């Protein structure tokens, strides 16, 4: 249980740091947020818990393929905001776009031999 609390605390601190840095410098906050910190931490926790190279390789590869459909959200949200859409609807639409692209990836990926 202590291990789970530690993982959650470290993850939470990173999110808080990004939020605080972005208040002062949106670009630098975005740089920190764009780092694959969550992915790297997830791999570290997974490795510590399993030490399974096959599982780790599958996880890292699947992470790559799932990052791709999430990227358009970061173009759609600013586009919507600049066109006058309020933040919450823009965020919601960006998330819906990402969910749709995730579903498309899980449907199309296996047809091209991707195991995700």
Q: What was the pLDDT predicted at 30? A: 85
> Is residue 69 within 8 Å of 98, Cβ to Cβ?
yes
Q: What was the pLDDT predicted at 116? A: 76
**Over residues 90-113, mean pLDDT:** 94
Which of the two residues, 86 and 32, has the higher pLDDT score? Answer: 86
Please tell me what DSSP assigns to residue 112.
G
**Over residues 65-89, mean pLDDT:** 96
pTM (two decimals): 0.76
CB neighbour class for 63 (10 Å; exposed up to 12, middle 13-18, buried from 19): middle
Please give the mean pLDDT across all residues of the chain: 92
CA dist 33 and 18 (Å) reads 6
**Over residues 64-83, mean pLDDT:** 95
CA dist 17 and 47 (Å) reads 25
**Over residues 1-20, mean pLDDT:** 88
How do the domains of the chain map onto residue ranges?
A: 52-116
Q: What was the pLDDT predicted at 14? A: 86
Q: Has residue 114 got a pLDDT over 90?
A: no
Q: Give percent of the chain with pLDDT exceeding 90.
A: 62
């Amino acid at each position: 249980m202590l291990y789970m609390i530690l993982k959650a605390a470290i993850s939470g601190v990173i999110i808080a740091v990004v939020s605080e840095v972005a208040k002062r410098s949106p670009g630098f906050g975005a740089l920190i947020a764009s780092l694959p910190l969550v992915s790297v931490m997830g791999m570290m926790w997974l490795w510590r818990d399993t030490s399974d190279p096959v599982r780790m390789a599958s996880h890292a590869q699947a992470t790559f393929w799932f990052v791709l459909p999430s990227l358009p959200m970061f173009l759609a949200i600013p586009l919507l905001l600049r066109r006058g859409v309020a933040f919450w609807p823009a965020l919601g639409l960006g998330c819906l776009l990402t969910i749709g692209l995730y579903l498309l990836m899980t449907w199309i990926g296996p047809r091209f031999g991707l195991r995700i």
